[in-house]
Structure 1
Amino acid sequence: MSVDVIGDGFIARHVRHHLAAARIHAHATILAAGVSSTSTTGAEPFRREADLVRAAARHCRENGRLLVFLSSAAPSLYGRTGVGQEDARLAPVTPYGRHKLALEEFVAASGTAWLTLRLAAVTGPRQNPVQLLPSLVQQVRAGTVTVYRGARRDLMDVRHFLAVLEGLLRTGMRNRVVNVASGVAFPVETIVDGIEDRLGRRATRRHLDVPPESLRLSNRRMLTLVPEAAHFGFGPGYLDRILDRYAGAENPDSATTTAVETGTGSP
C-alpha cells in the first residue's frame, strides 16, 4: 500500500517528504493542489481545480483508495465571526469559500472513502513568498508593510500539520471533516509587531480596513482524533514560537525561502 500526493507546492512537497520518511502504509491519495488564494474570483482557476478533484475522486473510487482533500478553514469559508466548527451549517462569504465548500460536498458524495482537512494558515520553511507570513517578513525588511486592520489569522506550523496528517492516516480515519488549526487567531497587527521585534526594525505601516474578524477555529475534533496534538503548545504563546522559528533575521528556517506554489500574501 502507498500514499500518493497530488501537487508540487509548499504543502505537497512537505507532505511527500514527511510521509516517505515516516514510512506510512496507507492506500491513500492526498490532494494538495488547486486554488490557494482566498482572493481568487475567476471561473477558470475554480474549473481547473474542480476537474482535478473529480479526476482524483474517480481514481480513488475505482482503485479503492482514500481521498484526502486539503480544504480551507479561512474566514472565506466559515465567516468572520463565531466559532468555526466542522458540523456547522456554513454560508461562505466569498467565491473562494463557496467553491471550497462545493468541492467538499462533491468529495463526500463521490462514492470513495474520503477525509477532508480544513487547514488554518500553514506556515513553514520554503514557503511561497507571496503567502501571509513570508510576505509580511519581506515587506517589513523592505521598510513598508500593508496591514489589513481588522483581520485575524490562525497560524499552524507545518511540522504540526504533518504530525496531525500522519496520525489520522495511521488510525485509518475516514469520512470526516477535521479542522487542522491551533484554535487561536491573532490580529495581523500583532503578527507584524512580532516580525518587527525579531528583525530589529520598524516598518512604515499602510493600513487597509477590512470587516472586523473574530472567528475562532475549533480544534476539538483534531485533538480528540490525534491526542498528541495537545502537546504542540497551542495557545497565546504559539505565535511567538512560530515567529522565532520562521521569521528570525538569520534563521535558516526563514519563511522567506522561495518556492513556486501559487498563493496570496493578503490576509
Structure 2
Amino acid sequence: MTMEIVGRGFLARNLRPIADRHPRTVVLAAGVSCAHGTSAHDFAREADLLRETADRCRATGSRLVFFSTAATGMYGGVAGLGREDGAVVPCTPYGAHKFGLERRLRESGAEHLILRLGHLVGARAPAHQLVPALLRQLARGVVRVERGAARDLIDVTDTVTVVDRLLERGVHGETVNVVSGHAVPVSDIVDHLEERLGLSARREYYGEGRQYGVSVEKLTRLVPETALLGFSPTYYRQVLDACLDPLRCPAALPAAS
C-alpha cells in the first residue's frame, strides 16, 4: 500500500517518488493553487473535496496531509513573524479560504497534518506562479513589479524532503510552516534573473505590496535536517539557479509572444 496523492499537478508530480514510503497517508495536492484566485466556485469545490477526503480518512484511519499557504494572504497582516500558533488575520480571499479550510480539517476528526507552504519553485511549475510569470515578462522586455512586495521562495524538491521527513516521523495534529524563513523583495528576484539570463527589462511598478516574515522555529525543531538545505537570506539564488539549470528545466525561459 502506498501513499495516495489526490491531484495531478506540480506538487503532486513531485511527491510521487516518496509515495512508497508512506502507507496509510492521503495527500491532498489538488484545489485552488493561485494566490490571486477569488472564484467562489473554485473555493467551494476545494472545500467539498477536503470534506469528502477528510471523511474518508476518518473512516479508514488514514492521515490526511493538507497544503495551506504561508504567503502574504495568510501572514501579510501579522506584526512580526507569522507563527503557526499565533493570531492570524488573512488579508486576501485566498488566505481566508485556506485558513477556513484549516479550521474545518481540525474539526473533522480526521488524523491530519497541515503544511503552510511558501512560494514553490521548480521545473514545470504552473504558468501563473511567480517565477514562470517573471521569466515570460523578461523575455518580452517589460516586467511588472509590485512596490515593496516580497516572496519566500522554496525549491519544490526541498519541500518534498521536508514532507518526507515529517511523515517518516509520524507527525500529525500539527500545523507547520514549510518555508525558507527569508522573504525576498521581488525586485531582488528580478535582479538575479536578469543577471543569470543576461537580460535587462524595463520595470513597471504598481500598487503597494505587503512586507511579511514567517517563523521556521517549529519547522527546524521537527526537521533539523533543514540546516542542510541552505536556508539563508541568499537561499533564493540557489533556488532560481536550479530552476534555470537546462539539465533540470530545459524550457526555463519561454519564448516571447
Q: Same fold (TM over 0.5)?
A: yes
Classify the secondary structure of the residue corresponding to 1:30: strand
User: Which aligned pairs between 1:152-171 and structure 2 lie closer than 5 A?
Assistant: 152-171=150-169
Classify the secondary structure of the residue corresponding to 1:146: strand
Classify the secondary structure of the residue corresponding to 2:55: helix
CA–CA separation in structure 2 for the residues paired with 1:255 and 1:67: 34
CA–CA separation in structure 2 for the residues paired with 1:123 and 1:180: 13
Classify the secondary structure of the residue corresponding to 1:179: strand
Is the Cα contact below 8 Å between 2:151 and 2:183 reproduced in 1? yes
Please say if 1:57 is aligned against 2:54. Answer: yes
CA–CA separation in structure 1 for the residues paired with 2:159 and 2:250: 18
Please say if 1:15 is aligned against 2:33. Answer: no
CA–CA separation in structure 2 for the residues paired with 1:44 and 1:25: 32
Encode CA deviations 1:15-45: one digit per residue, 9 max, x unaligned: 12x214xx31331100011111122222111
CA–CA separation in structure 2 for the residues paired with 1:255 and 1:75: 29
Q: Gaps spanning 5+ residues in structure 1: where? A: 259-267
Classify the secondary structure of the residue corresponding to 1:40: coil
Is the Cα contact below 8 Å between 1:245 and 1:251 reproduced in 2? no
- Give RMSD over aligned pairs: 1.6
CA–CA separation in structure 1 for the residues paired with 2:141 and 2:32: 30
Please say if 1:74 is aligned against 2:78. Answer: no
CA–CA separation in structure 2 for the residues paired with 1:147 and 1:180: 25
Shift, 1:146, TM fit: 0.9
- Which residue number in structure 1 is paired with residue 110 of structure 2? 112
Distance 1:138 1:210, change over 3 A: same
Higher relative contact order (CA 8 A, sep 6+): 1
- Which residue number in structure 2 is paired with residue 201 of structure 1? 199
Classify the secondary structure of the residue corresponding to 1:182: coil
- Which residue number in structure 2 is paired with residue 243 of structure 1? 240
- Which residue number in structure 1 is paired with residue 90 of structure 2? 92
Give percent identity, aligned residues only.
Answer: 42
- Which residue number in structure 2 is paired with residue 177 of structure 1? 175
Encode CA deviations 1:79-124: one digit per residue, 9 max, x unaligned: 2452110001111111111111110001011011000000000111
Is the Cα contact below 8 Å between 1:125 and 1:257 reproduced in 2? no
Q: Gaps spanning 5+ residues in structure 2: where? A: none
- Which residue number in structure 1 is paired with residue 39 of structure 2? 42
Please say if 1:134 is aligned against 2:128. Answer: no
Is the Cα contact below 8 Å between 1:133 and 1:255 reproduced in 2? no
Distance 1:45 1:255, change over 3 A: farther
